[in-house]
Amino acid sequence: MKVAIYCRLSEEDRNKQLATDDSNSIKNQKEMLQSYAAEQGWEIYDLYSDDDYTGADRRRPEFCRLLADAEKRRFNIILCKTQSRFTRELELVEKYIHGLFPKWGIRFVSIVDNADTANKGNKKSRQINGLVNEWYLEDMSDNIRSVLDSRRENGYHIGAFALYGYQKDPLQKGRLIVDEEAAAVVREVFTLFAKGYGKTAIARMLNDRGIPNPTEYKRQRGLRYQPPKSKAGTLWKYSAIADMLVNQIYIGNMVQGRYGSVSYKTKQCRPRPRSEWFVVEGTHEPIIERELWDRVQSTVAERAKSFNTGEIGLFAKKARCAGCGYFMRSSKNRGRYYLQCTCRYVAKDACEGAFISVDRLEQTVLSELRRLTKEYLDKDELERNVVLCNNLQERKEQLSCEQARSRKKLEDYAKGIRDLYLDKIKGVLTESDYSILSRELTAERDRLGRVITDYDRQIREIEEQMAAGDDRRERIEQYLEPEHLTREMVVQLVDYVTVGRRIEATRDVPIEIHWNF
């Protein structure tokens, strides 16, 4: 029997002499697992070790290598110290330990918590371990977020890298100090803008002088920045100048929390509303004087007011330049709106550039949408299938009563799960009985949650029908053959659009639409 040994250390190892050294904890895990494998008479195929990775990180390099070798059936057993060393996610426990590993003919064994897939009787305990580990991850995430938010509220800098113009104080954790080389560029940008230079013109001036943009500047100083993804990746762009001119950090205010993670299970982040930002004044030395800052903010607001309609652009964050992949910037000329890539304006040969009017792009998207509608949808059949209740008010009241009953049942199931847990703690229920009963109650609770959500949807639809009357054909036409696009339609239907450089011979603009369906 060939065995693969997997070790993981989740906390930062502070006892390392060198970054490549294994920690004492990892060494202890290895010795324990190697001795156990020898006692069982198993041949060690390979040893997989992830140091300084959490159990929720699915991109652990050795973890991924282990799974790849497992799929190729290169060993018969996976051996860990505990099940949580392999993963703390219940989803991965079910996917691999209870799903794919048996299919691949691989046995999973963990020593300390006695998890062994060869023993069918302890499957429930493995599932409970997975559930407890999942709760641990969620609680730990909440605790870490609470600690970090507390430090943000007190004005400490939280993050791997300081904003361009500053560097992290090596003597005081959480404090920023001025990086004079980069700060000189920041002062120049503010001064030029206050004198009337545009953001694109400022970017072009910096690029002509060979000044690296913030990403390239940090990367050149040995920080762990990824190499540029495109030819324009080392260049200053309109967006970098625009962001710099409105960032309060340059007047000594700490601004953090502008983005937040979607879930503790993913590193994906989303923008937060301004009301949730952490802003603390006077935490570090300012680079920009207040008088210059006020003049710049006044100019930024005035220029925005000159063409801003107060609404988000129709294709904001949806139109990309086919040459460099960057989002295209909106501009206005003689009452018409345009989208353009600024690469060709900020540096020579950055990319071919792209330019198109918003009206033309809108008509192109509408034309393609109508073509798809005509090809794939039958409006007469669709109209027949849109059923309106004869007595909408009666149906709404019926749904509301059913929803109320479901909510009451949901509360009862939640209480039942809590009581089961207490009975298990008191010894009234065995682990096996608790696992079976709690799984059934949890499944029913989750089902009721979905039912209640569906009731909400049905009630909203009835309310809309009551307000609009029987206008099935009109509403179908509105969505299937619209005269104009709305921002809501673009967000719902379009993932993104790429726009290429205009073909001189035909005057056509290459456009590629990536739909959300």
Phi then psi for 348, rounded to 5 degrees? -75, 135
CA distance 44 to 492: 52
User: Which tokens sit at 275?
Assistant: 């009301």
**Which of 97-101, 274-278, 303-307 is modeled with the greatest confidence?**
97-101
DSSP E strands, 244-360: 254-256, 259-261, 269-271, 278-280, 319-321, 329-333, 336-340, 355-357
Kindly give the pairing relationship between strand 166-168 and strand 115-116: unpaired
Closest CA to 231 of 323, 341, 329, 340: 323
Residue 170 has pLDDT above 70, yes or no: yes
Q: Which is it for strands 269-271 and 259-261: parallel, antiparallel or unpaired?
A: antiparallel
Q: Which residue has the higher pLDDT, 441 or 105?
A: 105
pLDDT band of residue 143 (cuts 50, 70, 90) is low
* Alpha carbon distance 388, 394 (integer Å): 12
Lowest mean per-residue pLDDT among 139-148, 232-241, 281-290, 390-399: 139-148
Please state the pTM of the whole predicted model.
0.46
Q: Compare 429 and 241 and report the one with higher pLDDT.
A: 241
Question: Please, is 414 exposed, middle or buried when counting C-beta atoms within 10 Å of its C-beta (0-12, 13-18, 19+)?
Answer: middle
Distance of alpha carbon 345 from alpha carbon 327, whole angstroms:
15
More confident residue, 406 or 481: 406
SS (H, E, C) 6-68: EEEECCCCCCCCCCCCCCHHHHHHHHHHHHHHHHHCCEEEEEEEEECCCCCCCCCHHHHHHHH
Report how far residue 389's alpha carbon sits from residue 395's, in angstroms, rounded to the nearest whole number: 7
**CA gap 130, 258 in Å, rounded:** 33
Position 304 pLDDT exceeds 70: no
d(CA 280, CA 272): 17
For residues 185 and 128, the model is more confident at 185
Q: Are strands 319-321 and 494-499 parallel, antiparallel or unpaired?
A: parallel
Structure tokens at 513: 């639409």
Select the highest-mean-pLDDT range: 90-94, 196-200, 203-207, 342-346.
Answer: 203-207
* Comparison of pLDDT for 66 and 269, the residue scoring more: 66
Q: Which residues contact 515 (CB under 8 A, 6 or more apart)?
A: 493, 494, 495
Q: Is residue 89's pLDDT more than 50?
A: yes
Tell whether the model's pLDDT for residue 96 goes beyond 80.
Answer: yes
Tell me how long the chain is: 517
Mean pLDDT of all residues in the chain? 79
Residue 102: pLDDT over 50: yes
Q: Is the pLDDT of residue 349 over 60?
A: no
- The closest alpha carbon to 330, from 348, 342, 322, belongs to 342
DSSP state of 59: T
Sorted by sequence, the CB contacts under 8 Å of residue 362 that are 6+ apart come out as 314, 484, 485
Q: What is the pLDDT of residue 250?
A: 94
Confidence label for 307 from pLDDT (cuts 50, 70 and 90): very low
Determine the topology of domain 2-122 in CATH: Rossmann fold (3.40.50)
Residues 6+ apart with CB under 8 A from 488: none
Q: How confident is the model at residue 313 (pLDDT cuts 50, 70, 90)?
A: confident
Average pLDDT over residues 343-349: 62
Give the containing element (helix H, strand E) for 50.
strand 43-51
Please say if the pLDDT value at position 465 is more than 60: yes
In the predicted model, is pLDDT for residue 361 greater than 50?
A: yes
Q: How confident is the model at residue 389 (pLDDT cuts 50, 70, 90)?
A: very low
CATH number of 166-307: 3.90.1750.20
What's the pLDDT band for 130 if we cut at 50, 70, 90?
A: low
* Distance separating alpha carbons of residues 6 and 32, to the nearest angstrom: 11
Q: What digits encode the pLDDT tens for the residues 5-21?
A: 999 886 544 444 444 44
Between 231 and 25, the higher pLDDT residue: 25
Spatial CB neighbours of 157, under 8 Å, sequence gap ≥ 6: 168, 174, 175, 176, 254, 256, 283
Contact, 482 vs 489, CB < 8 A? yes
Q: What angle in degrees, to the nearest 10, is found between the helix axes of 238-245 and 180-194?
A: 90
φ, ψ for residue 364, nearest 5 deg: -65, -45
213: left (phi over 0), alpha (psi -120 to 50) or beta: beta
